[in-house]
A and B are shown apart, each in its own frame.
Chain A
Amino acid sequence: MKFFKLLISFILIFYLNNAHADNIDLNHKITKNLRCLVCQGQSVYDSDSDFAISLKIVVANKIDEGLSEKQIYSYLKKKYGEWILYDPELNKNTYLLWLLPVLLFLFGGVIIFKRFKIKN
């Protein structure tokens, strides 16, 4: 019986630890993708400005509330606009940005393929 109690407490401790660590990882992942709006060229994760410190707290709170990564991004986008995200989402303003590299890649592929075919 004592053994079981010990086992359960160990499992609980490790489980909670894990959950906590996951939250921290998620927090880092999100704050690395947020642009610190008052310090040019830094992410919120890297910055120690007042704004970044508060934003880190907000992100941590939102994670604790159970919001997903996407929900947190859309919450912050509502407050500060698309600019706060380093990784812009695919929409009508950014589709050229996302699709151009793919198109260029395919185009290059076609050229190589044609040359290869002619050689053969």
Chain B
Amino acid sequence: MKNKFFLFTSILIFLIIFSIFYKGLHKQNIYTPSVKLNKKIPEYSSKLLYTDKIINYSEIFDKENFYFLNIWSSWCVPCRAEHDLLMELSKNEDIKLVGLNYKDNTDNAQKFLKELGNPFNIILVDIDGIQAIEWGAVGVPESFLIHKKKVIKKYIGPLDTNLLIQIKSLIK
């Protein structure tokens, strides 16, 4: 009787552990950042690139328009690659582009825009990366589609033509 009980419980424990590990085998363990959507934009204020004015986020993002916040930097190679797409997106009148210049040197940032063109309506300066964290970003480039003061879509990494088509269809 006692032996049977012991056998039964060991098989049960074995089965539980086996099923947990078996399930774990098929689970992807590469980290993908959680893309939490419909999150309110953070409350913060920031310095602008071309002037020394400090502006609050609530003054930048209003309720009607679509906004595309792009975190970029002159030292970031993928940012250079996606820049043409941003230029194309900036031609669209339904959306306003906001740049967040991440851990960059002001002169280099301005040179970068002079060379490749400036797609942004407004450029915020984030010297120590604190604002990027307020947005929940992990690096550059990263972009956020904002509507009604909420982040409705988040793009990690550089944009490509497919994503651009998706963005354009979203803001129609």
A interface with B by C-beta (< 8 Å)? 37-38, 40, 50-51, 53-55, 57-58, 61, 79-81, 83
Contacts and interface: CB of A to CB of B under 8 A. Distances in A.
Contact of B130 (A38, A54, A80): A54
Given A38-B139, A80-B33, 17 more contacts: A37-B31, A37-B33, A37-B138, A50-B139, A51-B139, A54-B103, A54-B128, A54-B132, A55-B133, A57-B129, A61-B130, A79-B133, A79-B135, A79-B136, A81-B34, A81-B36, A83-B33
Nearest to A81: B34
A40 B133 contact: no
B129 A54 contact: yes
A interface, by DSSP: helix, strand, loop or mixed?
Answer: helix
A113 to B, nearest CB: 14
B136 A80 contact: yes
Contacts of A80: 33-34, 136, 138
Interface residues of B, number: 15
A51 B129 contact: yes
Contacts of A79: 133-136
A16 to B, nearest CB: 25
Indicate the member of B33, B128, B134, B138 with the most A CB atoms within 10 Å.
B138
Ordered nearest first, which 8 A-B pairs have the shortest CB separation? Answer: A54-B129, A81-B34, A79-B136, A37-B138, A58-B133, A38-B138, A51-B138, A57-B128
Contacts of B33: 37, 80-81, 83
Nearest to A53: B129
Interface in B77-132: 103, 128-130, 132
A58 B33 CA distance: 19
A14 B92 CA distance: 60
Contacts of B130: 54, 57-58, 61
Contacts of A40: 31
Nearest to B73: A50
